[in-house]
Amino acid sequence: MTGDEGPSYTVDDALVALGFGKFQILVLVYAGVGWISEAMEMMLLSFVGPAVQALWNLSPHEESFITSAVFAGMLIGAYSWGIVSDRYGRRQIVMPNLGWRWLLALSSLPTSFLLLFYKLTPESPRYLCLKGRTADAIEVLEKIARVNGRELPSGNLVSDHEIELQQIDNPSEDARLLSPTTNEIKHPLGMDSNLGGISSLSVLLSPKLARSTVLLWAVFFGNAFSYYGLVLLTTELNGHSKCMSHKLQTEKSEDVSYKSIFIASFAEIPGLLLSAVAVDKLGRKLSMSTMFFICCIFLLPLVFHLPEGLTTGLLFLARICITATFTIVYIYAPEMYPTSVRTTGVGIASSVGRIGGMICPLVAVGLVHGCHQTVAVLLFEIIVLLSGICVVFLPIETMGQELRDSVQV
């Protein structure tokens, strides 16, 4: 684009010109290791819970609180680090042989690996540009260009926010004709670089974003509740399909069906592949809502006591769908919010999801242990169905849309 001071380009223009190359692959690996760390923590809950219950002689209710405590920590971390990021920047063999303590210790290795490369991780150029640190943004873009073997566009780097202000100050002839009154000047919300938690929350609940924010919270809650619930149900349903009246023996941890857990967990791969295809073919909203509704179909037969093989198969199919929705919502949410409150918005939504994660152990463990499998599964059905309906009513489809830097009100 060309302005009064010569040609200029935005961060989006630069990223398009630089293309997808080695730098993006490195970022993908770095971010992927972080997700590996979280996934390990979630998966080991299925093993650690029964082991700790047997070792400490806990009741099923007390065991469920162990899992809820994990999500309580995630709730605090997701909210607080989201605000910090928007203000200061983005940046089965062990268990049987070595015990659950070694399993927990080894699950921390991926996070330790990330810390080694923390200093090499660049800041978001869009964030830097929004905060007026154009020189730093250009430095990051130049690094990307070197790694990818490309060149930046010629001209000056400007933020999308600057372009929006220019369009307000110097509207085109068409814009002047379409404008109802000359006094309706839109001002961006959330541009203060020192926004605190309350101020950021007020932007998220402003008239422009309130509907999207509340519905997104509901989707995150339902997604986390159902996803982590399915992780726990893999062991709980297969371990209590007969709802035996006698107490579990101390060898309960050895009775966990590793085969069932492996099969159900393997559903993550087709779920990720399905989401990668559907998200750009069908759009974010249609992909999520469809997967939620199909998940309801696969969960419904579980209201009855079924053979272990059939139960595992249904959980496998349901896990594919819920993995796809979980993946897509983490694509949709950052695209929905402007840069000024993007990480805070996603962080708060993720915190609401962690509340669902805190509650689901009380259902997956407590109700199934109490011989209320039908009630537990029906509750999952209701949560998943309502999540799909909330997706339908989300006002924005972000596929093919440019990211925004601020909220215009």
Over residues 5-17, the pLDDT tens digits come to 557 788 778 888 8
- pLDDT, average across residues 127-155: 84
User: To the nearest whole percent, how much of the chain has pLDDT over 90?
Assistant: 18
Least confident range of 41-55, 174-188, 287-301: 174-188
Cα dihedral 78, 84, 86, 87 in deg (nearest 10): 170
| Inter-residue contact 313 to 172 (CB < 8 Å) | no
Q: For residue 294, what pLDDT is reported?
A: 96
- Average pLDDT over the chain reads 74
pLDDT at position 177, please?
Answer: 42
pLDDT at residue 383 in the model: 94
**Res. 163: pLDDT tops 50:** yes
- Which range of 143-157, 219-233, 291-305, 353-367 scores highest in mean pLDDT? It is 291-305
pLDDT of 82 > 50? The answer is: no
Structural domains of the chain, with CATH: 62-88+202-400 (1.20.1250.20)
State the average pLDDT over residues 35-61: 64
Q: What is the pLDDT of residue 300?
A: 93
pLDDT at 106 over 80: no
Q: Coil, helix or strand for 7?
A: strand
Any residues with CB less than 8 A from the CB of 256 and at least 6 apart, and which? Answer: 46, 47, 50, 235, 239
Highest mean pLDDT (candidates 261-265, 310-314, 381-385): 381-385
Q: What percent of the chain has pLDDT over 70?
A: 59
Top mean-pLDDT range of 174-178, 212-216, 403-407: 212-216
Average pLDDT over residues 55-82: 58
| Residue 391 near residue 219, CB atoms below 8 Å | yes
Instruction: Please check the confidence at residue 399 and state whether its pLDDT lies above 80.
Output: yes
Q: How much is the pLDDT for 152? A: 85
pLDDT for 207 equals 84
Q: How far is CA 225 from CA 296, 355, 356, 384, in A?
A: 14, 8, 4, 9
